[in-house]
Amino acid sequence: MRLVLWLWFLLFSTLVWSSWSLSSDGAALLALSKSLILPRSLRSNWSASDATPCTWNGVGCNGRNRVISLDLSSSQVSGSIGPDIGRLKYLQVLILSTNNISGLIPLELGNCNMLEQLDLSQNLLSGNIPASMGNLKKLSLLSLYSNSLNGTIPEELFKNQFLEEVYLHDNQLSGSIPFAVGEMTSLKSLWLHENLLSGVLPSSIGKCTKLEELYLLYNQLSGSLPETLSEIKGLRVFDATRNSFTGEINFSFENCKLEIFILSFNYIKGEIPSWLVNCRSLQQLGFVNNSLSGKIPTSIGLLTNLTYLLLSQNSLSGPIPPEIGKCRSLTWLELDSNQLEGTIPKELANLWNLTRLFLFKNKLEGSIPPNICSGKKLQYLNLGSNHLNASIPRDLVSDCQSLVRLNLRDNNLSGSIM
C-alpha cells in the first residue's frame, strides 16, 4: 500500500512538474544550441527552467507561445545547424546571417514548412542545397549568398510562386539554372552571380514577369539569350558580365525600364540594339569585349542619365556621334579597341563630369578637341594608337590639372605638351 501511494505521488509530481517544464519548442532550441554555438552573452539567457523560450535572446513567439522567429544575425554564432531545427514547426523567420556557422544545411530544415524568410547568408556553410528545401512553399525570401555551397540548384527549390527574392550568389554552385525558374511568378530579384553555373538561361525566365533584377555575372553560362526576356517589362538590372553568351540580342523592350544593362566579356554579335533608345533611365551600358559591329547610333544622345558607356573591344565602325555630347552625366566613356573613324567630336568637351575617356586603338584622325578638360575632372585620357594628325592643343596640360594618366602615343601629333 505504501508503495502504491508512493508511486501515485511520483506520477502526480511528474505531471505537475512537466506542465511547468520547458515547452517542446524550447527543448528543440536547447537541442539546437548543442551544435550551434552561441556566444555566452546570448546563451546565458536560454534557460531550461523557463516555461517557454519566448523571452530568450533572438527568439520570437506567437500568441500561443510557439516559436515563429529566430534571429541571430551578426551575433558571432559558430558551430553548425543541427537537425533539431526541423522540430520548430511554426518557424516563419530564420535569420542566421553574418556569423561563422559551418557544416551542412540540414535536410530537416525542409520540415519548417511555415518558413517565409530564410537568411543564412555570409557564413561558412558547405555542401549542397538540400532538395528538401523545395518543401518550403511559403518562402518569399531565400538568402544563402556568400557561403561555400556547391552542387546543383535543386529544381524543386524554384517551384515556388511566393518567392520574391533569391540570393544565391558568391557560392560554388554548378550545373544549370533550373527550368523551374519560370514558376517563380512573384520573383523580383534573382542574384546568381559568382558561381560555376553553366548551360543556358532557360527561356522560361520570361514567365517571371515581375523580375526587376537579374544578376548572372561571373558564371559559365552559354547559348543565346532567350527572346522571352522581352516579357519581363519591368527589368531594371540585367548584368551577365563574364559568361559565354553567344548570338545576337533578340529580345527588346518597348517601354524600357533598364537602368543597368551589362553584357561585357561574352560573345554577343550584331549591332547595338536600336531599342536601347527607349531606355531613358539607363545609367550603365556595358558591352566590353564582344563582337558588336555596325555604328554607334546617334540616338545614344537621348540617354541623358548614362554615367557609364563602355563599348571597348568590339568591331564598331563609323564615327563617334557628336550626340554623345548630350549624355551630360557620363563619367566613363570607353570606346577603345574598335574601328571607329573620323574625328573626335568637339562636343565631348560638354561632358563636364567625365573622369575617363578611352578612345585608343581606333582609326581616329584630326585633332584633340580644345577644352577637353573643361569639366576639370578628367583623370584618365587615352587617345593612343589612332591617326590623330594635328598639333596638340597648347593648353592641354595646364587645363587638365586633374589628369593622372595621359597617353597620346602612336599617333601623328605635333607640338608640345608643356
Ligand X SMILES: *[C@@H]1O[C@H](CO)[C@@H](O)[C@H](O)[C@H]1NC(C)=O
Q: Which three cell numbers stand for residue 72?
A: 541571430
Residue among 164 and 271 whose Cβ is closer to ligand X:
271
Any contact of residue 99 with ligand X (CB under 6 A)?
yes
Selected range binding ligand X among 51-59, 198-206, 235-243, 342-350, rule: CB under 6 A: 51-59
- Exactly one of 21, 31, 35, 45 binds ligand X (CB under 6 A); that residue is 45
Q: How far is CA 17 from CA 20, 23, 52, 65, in A?
A: 5, 12, 14, 18
- Exactly one of 126, 186, 209, 230 binds ligand X (CB under 6 A); that residue is 126
From the CB of 108, what's the least distance to ligand X, in Å? 19
CA dist 95 and 88 (Å) reads 14
CA dist 199 and 217 (Å) reads 14
Residue among 126 and 402 whose Cβ is closer to ligand X:
126
Any contact of residue 257 with ligand X (CB under 6 A)?
no
Residues in region 310-349 near ligand X by CB under 6 A: 313, 328-329, 337
Q: Which three cell numbers stand for residue 19?
A: 506542465
Look at the block and give the residue holding cell 563636364.
352
Q: For ligand X, what does the binding mask look like between residues 136 and 155, x meaning CB under 6 A? A: --------------xx----
Any contact of residue 390 with ligand X (CB under 6 A)?
yes
CA dist 341 and 320 (Å) reads 7
Residues paired with residue 126 on neighbouring β-strands, in sequence order: 148
Look at the block and give the residue holding cell 523580375.
211
Q: Which helix (H) or strand (E) holds 32?
A: helix 24-35
Angle at 361 between CA 356 and CA 364, to 5 degrees: 90
Residue among 108 and 259 whose Cβ is closer to ligand X:
259
- Exactly one of 117, 289, 362, 385 binds ligand X (CB under 6 A); that residue is 289
Selected range binding ligand X among 202-210, 230-238, 341-349, 384-392, rule: CB under 6 A: 384-392
Any contact of residue 369 with ligand X (CB under 6 A)?
no
> Are the C-beta atoms of residues 347 and 327 closer than 8 Å to each other?
no
Sign of the C-alpha dihedral computed for residues 182, 183, 188 and 191 taken in this order:
negative
Residues in region 159-198 near ligand X by CB under 6 A: none
> Are the C-beta atoms of residues 245 and 263 closer than 8 Å to each other?
yes
Closest to 228 in 3D by CA, of 255, 209, 206: 206
- Exactly one of 100, 161, 220, 274 binds ligand X (CB under 6 A); that residue is 100
Which parts of this chain interact with ligand X (CB under 6 A)? 45, 50, 55-57, 76, 98-100, 126-127, 150-151, 224, 227, 247-248, 250, 280-281, 289, 305, 313, 328-329, 337, 353, 365, 387, 389-390, 412
